[in-house]
Structure 1
Amino acid sequence: MSTPKIDVQVISSGILSEDVLMLGESVIKQAKIPVQQQLQLQFGSLRQSVTVVSVPRYDGLRIGHSLARRMGVSSGTPLRLQYRSASRSLALGPLIGVLVSRDYPDQPDKPFGAITMFCHELVDTCRAQGAFVYFFTPSGIQESLRSVRGWVLGSGGWRQSDFPAPDVVNNRLTSRKLENRPIVQQFVSEIKYRYGAIVFNEKFLDKSEVFEALKNDSSVLRYLPESHSLRNFTTLKSMCSRYSVVFLKPVRGSLGKGIIRLNRFGSEGWQASFTTVNGTRKATYPNLLKFFSVISGKMKTVRYLIQQGLALIDSGGRPIDFRALTQKNASGKWVVTSIVGRIAGNQHYVSNLARGGTLATVREAVARSNLPSTYRGEATSRLTRAALDISRGIDTHIQAHFGELGIDLAIDTSGRVWLLEVNSKPSKNDNTPLNEGKIRPSVRTMIQYARYLSGF
Structure 2
Amino acid sequence: MLNPQSIPNIDANEAIVYTPFSLFQQWVKNRSFPVKVMYGQRQLPVTFQPNPDREEHYMVSTALCKKLNLLKDQKHHIYESNDILHIGPVVGIFTAGFTGGTYKPIGERSSLFAKLLSEAKQLGVTAYVFGTHHINWEEKQINAYIYDQSGWRQNTLPFPNVVYDRLPNRRIEGLPATHDTKTRLEKEMNLLWFNPGFFDKWSVHEIMANNKQVQHYLPETVNAPTQGQIEELLYRYRNVYIKPTNGSLGIGIQQILKRRKDQSYYCKFRTNGQNRLRRYSSLKRLLRQQFSKGLEGYMAQRGINLLSWNGKPIDFRVHTNRNRYGAWEVSALAAKLAGTGSVTTHVTSGGKILTLQDIINELGKSKSITQDIKRAVLLLSETLTENMAGIVGEIGFDLGIDTSGSVWLFEANAKPGRGIFSHPNLSVYDKKTSALPFEFSIYLYEQLIQRQVAIKK
Shorter-chain TM-score bucket reads 0.7 to 0.9
- The residue number in structure 1 matching 2:45 is 49
How far did residue 305 of structure 1 move?
1.1
- The residue number in structure 1 matching 2:141 is 147
- The residue number in structure 2 matching 1:396 is 386
Q: Work out whether residues 401 and 407 of structure 2, in 8 Å CA contact, stay in contact via their aligned partners in 1.
A: yes
Corresponding residue SS for 1:75: coil
Distance 1:313 1:29 in 2: 66
- The residue number in structure 2 matching 1:197 is 191
Give the 3 Å change call, closer, same or farther, for CA 285–332 of structure 1 in structure 2: same
Corresponding residue SS for 1:444: helix
How far did residue 381 of structure 1 move?
0.7
Q: CA RMSD in A?
A: 3.0
Distance 2:29 2:279 in 1: 75
What runs of 5+ residues in structure 2 fail to find an aligned partner? Answer: 450-457
Distance 1:127 1:32 in 2: 33
User: Which shifted more, 67-76 or 271-280?
Assistant: 67-76
Deviations, residues 338-388 of structure 1 (Å, cap 9, x unaligned)? 21011122231311111222211113124434xxx5x63321111111111
Q: Which residue of 250, 270, 274 corresponds with 2:269?
A: 274
Q: Work out whether residues 20 and 52 of structure 1, in 8 Å CA contact, stay in contact via their aligned partners in 2.
A: yes
Corresponding residue SS for 2:35: strand
- The residue number in structure 2 matching 1:39 is 35
Q: Work out whether residues 258 and 265 of structure 2, in 8 Å CA contact, stay in contact via their aligned partners in 1.
A: yes
Distance 1:10 1:428 in 2: 40
How far did residue 231 of structure 1 move?
4.3
Corresponding residue SS for 2:213: coil
User: Which shifted more, 336-345 or 286-295?
Assistant: 286-295
How far did residue 432 of structure 1 move?
5.5
Give the 3 Å change call, closer, same or farther, for CA 435–161 of structure 1 in structure 2: farther
Distance 2:305 2:271 in 1: 22
Q: Which residue of 114, 117, 133 corresponds with 1:120?
A: 114
- The residue number in structure 1 matching 2:411 is 421
Give the 3 Å change call, closer, same or farther, for CA 334–246 of structure 1 in structure 2: same
Q: Work out whether residues 115 and 428 of structure 1, in 8 Å CA contact, stay in contact via their aligned partners in 2.
A: no
Q: Work out whether residues 319 and 349 of structure 1, in 8 Å CA contact, stay in contact via their aligned partners in 2.
A: no
- The residue number in structure 1 matching 2:68 is 71
2:346 counterpart of 1:352: yes
Deviations, residues 14-56 of structure 1 (Å, cap 9, x unaligned)? 8223x43344435645899989967232222212222222232
Q: Which residue of 234, 240, 248 corresponds with 1:240?
A: 234
Q: Work out whether residues 279 and 347 of structure 1, in 8 Å CA contact, stay in contact via their aligned partners in 2.
A: no
How far did residue 141 of structure 1 move?
3.0
Deviations, residues 230-263 of structure 1 (Å, cap 9, x unaligned)? 2433332332333211010111222221111101
Corresponding residue SS for 1:166: coil
- The residue number in structure 2 matching 1:81 is 78
Distance 1:114 1:377 in 2: 37
Corresponding residue SS for 1:268: coil
The one-letter code of the counterpart of 1:47 is Q
Task: Quote the sequence identity (%).
Answer: 24
Deviations, residues 48-72 of structure 1 (Å, cap 9, x unaligned)? 222222232252322344x534533
Counterpart mapping for 1:167-246 below 5 A: 167-246=161-240
The one-letter code of the counterpart of 1:333 is A
How far did residue 212 of structure 1 move?
1.4
- The residue number in structure 2 matching 1:431 is 421
Counterpart mapping for 1:288-299 below 5 A: 288-299=283-294
Distance 1:43 1:312 in 2: 52
Distance 2:248 2:384 in 1: 19
Q: Which residue of 419, 432, 442 corresponds with 1:451?
A: 442
The one-letter code of the counterpart of 1:397 is N
Give the 3 Å change call, closer, same or farther, for CA 357–89 of structure 1 in structure 2: same
Q: Work out whether residues 353 and 423 of structure 2, in 8 Å CA contact, stay in contact via their aligned partners in 1.
A: no
Distance 1:436 1:376 in 2: 20
- The residue number in structure 2 matching 1:253 is 247
How far did residue 277 of structure 1 move?
4.5
Give the 3 Å change call, closer, same or farther, for CA 415–437 of structure 1 in structure 2: closer
Deviations, residues 394-441 of structure 1 (Å, cap 9, x unaligned)? 112222321111111111111111111111111244335479998712
What runs of 5+ residues in structure 1 fail to find an aligned partner? Answer: none
Deviations, residues 53-93 of structure 1 (Å, cap 9, x unaligned)? 2232252322344x5345333433311111112xx111110
How far did residue 224 of structure 1 move?
0.3
Distance 2:431 2:297 in 1: 36
Give the 3 Å change call, closer, same or farther, for CA 345–72 of structure 1 in structure 2: farther
Distance 1:316 1:237 in 2: 30
- The residue number in structure 1 matching 2:59 is 61
Give the 3 Å change call, closer, same or farther, for CA 363–38 of structure 1 in structure 2: closer
Give the 3 Å change call, closer, same or farther, for CA 27–194 of structure 1 in structure 2: farther
Distance 1:401 1:69 in 2: 33
Q: Work out whether residues 244 and 252 of structure 2, in 8 Å CA contact, stay in contact via their aligned partners in 1.
A: yes
Q: Work out whether residues 214 and 221 of structure 1, in 8 Å CA contact, stay in contact via their aligned partners in 2.
A: yes
Distance 1:274 1:429 in 2: 20
Q: Work out whether residues 97 and 106 of structure 2, in 8 Å CA contact, stay in contact via their aligned partners in 1.
A: yes
Distance 1:71 1:103 in 2: 26
User: Which shifted more, 156-165 or 19-28?
Assistant: 19-28
The one-letter code of the counterpart of 1:448 is E
Q: Work out whether residues 248 and 304 of structure 1, in 8 Å CA contact, stay in contact via their aligned partners in 2.
A: yes
User: Which shifted more, 236-245 or 41-50?
Assistant: 236-245
Q: Work out whether residues 135 and 143 of structure 2, in 8 Å CA contact, stay in contact via their aligned partners in 1.
A: yes
Distance 1:323 1:185 in 2: 30
| TM-score, structure 2 as length reference | 0.87
Distance 2:277 2:252 in 1: 13
Corresponding residue SS for 2:294: helix
Corresponding residue SS for 2:378: helix
Q: Work out whether residues 41 and 48 of structure 1, in 8 Å CA contact, stay in contact via their aligned partners in 2.
A: yes
- The residue number in structure 2 matching 1:100 is 95
Q: Work out whether residues 132 and 181 of structure 2, in 8 Å CA contact, stay in contact via their aligned partners in 1.
A: no
Corresponding residue SS for 2:268: strand
Distance 2:70 2:183 in 1: 26
User: Which shifted more, 395-404 or 88-97?
Assistant: 395-404
Distance 1:320 1:436 in 2: 18
Distance 1:25 1:91 in 2: 18
- The residue number in structure 1 matching 2:402 is 412
Give the 3 Å change call, closer, same or farther, for CA 313–151 of structure 1 in structure 2: same
User: Which shifted more, 318-327 or 287-296?
Assistant: 287-296
User: Which shifted more, 130-139 or 4-13?
Assistant: 4-13
